[in-house]
Amino acid sequence: MIKELTVNLGERSYPIYIGEGLLSEIGAYFEKHGIGKGSPLLIVTDTHVGPKYLKEVAGRLESAGYKVAAHTVDSGEKSKSLAVLEDVVATALEAGLDRKSTVIALGGGVVGDLAGFVAASYMRGIRFVQVPTTILAHDSSVGGKVAVNHPLAKNIIGAFHQPEMVFYDTQTLQSLPDREVRAGLSEMIKHGLIWDAEFTAWCEENAGKLVGLDSEALQHGLYMGCSVKAAVVSKDERENDLRAILNLGHTLGHALEAVAGYGELLHGEAIAIGMVAAAKLAVKLGYPEHIDTVTERIFRKFGLPVRIPAHLDTHEIMRAMMHDKKFNEGKMVYIIPTDIGKVVIDKNVSAESVKQIVNRMKQED
């Protein structure tokens, strides 16, 4: 069964399709969404995903009458760079992509963010379609944040550019390595922690099924996660206010990714640590103790890290946090849980309290 959700953004509204075996129908969906056949398409994928799914996607689209080019980047976070972006643009030019062309992101969040930024910047913006293949990408494929990294800061060169549709074949998730499964579930838990206590409890109860890639549990979890994301983005597309809550755990998480070296800590792992830190900060600020105990318990249950690797330098972590997009006018804005399923955007968190939590989380076991 195919589940459908909508990201409501007026004329930029688009559907999210979630279903097992959807890839076999990609040609028909492209036609349905008016993707023209007069200009070439460019599929961007990576070295793990390409060998598994590129032939099928390209073949289905060609059978439907599309002219298709492809570019495969190295798998992993290091491909979210300006140098790789330049390579993809070279392929786009050689393949004759024009302003009516569409870029297809076939892969996880790395490919989605990179290919999305290619689409946002190529000829000042062309269409793109998200074809997510990781659990984490239920988050990254929705909402139109596209970017590459700078060595000093994550996602610092980017844009808001919404896709035409999100086309999520959950069958592809069966080939994910266990570490990537767990890291992807971190963002699913985040969607519960910021919005829905009942869904958070469901995630915890179904940890075994989710980690074991049980099809029914996965479909439900992804649908719920995408629903939260779509609801938030539909209310505040450009993060003027509410959308910042999707960043729970990310100020510290992004700093840990950059300081550890991109790809050492997976994004989902880094933000799991960040969400535990936010829960500890909440308790320090006077919110109930159970926020910390429940948050940490859940991430431990999913086998995700809940402590900061001891070798990472506190000073460097603090410096990296100052590059966060929510560090404005000398103030650190932090997403603080006030209960399970509820958060506030706190504009007055002192760097000193954050530093104390960072130091504590490097010492505790």
Chain residues binding ligand LNCXM5UN by CB under 6 A are 139, 143, 145, 155, 187, 239, 243, 246-247, 250, 325
- The two structure tokens encoding residue 238: 């450009």
At 145, phi and psi to the nearest 5?
Answer: -80, 120
**Rounded Cα gap, residues 190 and 271, in angstroms:** 9
Q: Looking at beta carbons only, is 194 or 298 nearer to ligand LNCXM5UN?
A: 194
176 binds, among ligand LNCXM5UN, ligand NAD, none (CB under 5 to 8 A by kind): ligand NAD
CB 22 within 8 A of CB 167: yes
161 annotated active-site: no
Q: Looking at beta carbons only, is 76 or 309 nearer to ligand NAD?
A: 76
**Rounded Cα gap, residues 50 and 175, in angstroms:** 12
Which one of residues 71, 97, 129, 139 is an interface residue with ligand NAD (CB under 6 A)? 139
- 48 is an interface residue for ligand NAD by CB under 6 A: yes
Task: Report the 10 Å Cβ neighbour count for 196.
Answer: 19
315 is in an annotated binding site: no
267 annotated active-site: yes
Q: Looking at beta carbons only, is 196 or 239 nearer to ligand LNCXM5UN?
A: 239
**Rounded Cα gap, residues 22 and 24, in angstroms:** 5
Looking at 237, 239, 257, 269, which residue is catalytic?
239
**Rounded Cα gap, residues 314 and 203, in angstroms:** 32
User: Is residue 222 within a helix (H) or strand (E), and if so which, with residue range?
Assistant: helix 215-235
Q: CB of residue 267 vs ligand LNCXM5UN: minimum separation in angstroms?
A: 6
Kindly identify the residues of this chain, within the stretch 84-123, that bind ligand NAD according to CB under 6 A. 107-111, 113
Residues 6+ apart with CB under 8 A from 362: 307, 308, 309, 310, 312, 314
Q: CB of residue 206 vs ligand LNCXM5UN: minimum separation in angstroms?
A: 21
181 is in an annotated binding site: no
3 is in an annotated binding site: no
User: Is residue 189 within a helix (H) or strand (E), and if so which, with residue range?
Assistant: helix 178-195
Alpha-carbon torsion angle 314, 258, 162, 18, nearest 10: -90
Kindly identify the residues of this chain, within the stretch 155-214, that bind ligand NAD according to CB under 6 A. 155, 172-173, 175-176, 180, 183-184, 187
Task: Report the 10 Å Cβ neighbour count for 348.
Answer: 9
109 is in an annotated binding site: yes
Looking at 190, 250, 269, 280, which residue is catalytic?
250
Residues 6+ apart with CB under 8 A from 155: 80, 113, 145, 147, 148, 149, 254, 325
Task: Report the 10 Å Cβ neighbour count for 314.
Answer: 13
145 annotated active-site: yes
48 is in an annotated binding site: no
187 is in an annotated binding site: yes
Q: Looking at beta carbons only, is 102 or 141 nearer to ligand NAD?
A: 141
Contact range with ligand NAD by CB under 6 A, out of 13-21, 25-33, 95-103, 139-147: 139-147
- The two structure tokens encoding residue 315: 């000073």
Q: Looking at beta carbons only, is 134 or 219 nearer to ligand NAD?
A: 134
78 is in an annotated binding site: yes
Residues 6+ apart with CB under 8 A from 207: 298, 301, 302
Q: Which residues are annotated as part of the binding site for NAD(+)? A: 75-80, 109-113, 133-134, 145, 154
Report the catalytic residues. 124, 145, 187, 229, 239, 243, 247, 250, 254, 267
Annotated binding site for Zn(2+): 187, 250, 267
Q: Which chain residues interact with ligand NAD by CB under 6 A?
A: 46, 48-49, 52, 75-77, 80, 107-111, 113, 133-134, 136-137, 139-140, 143, 145, 155, 172-173, 175-176, 180, 183-184, 187, 267-268
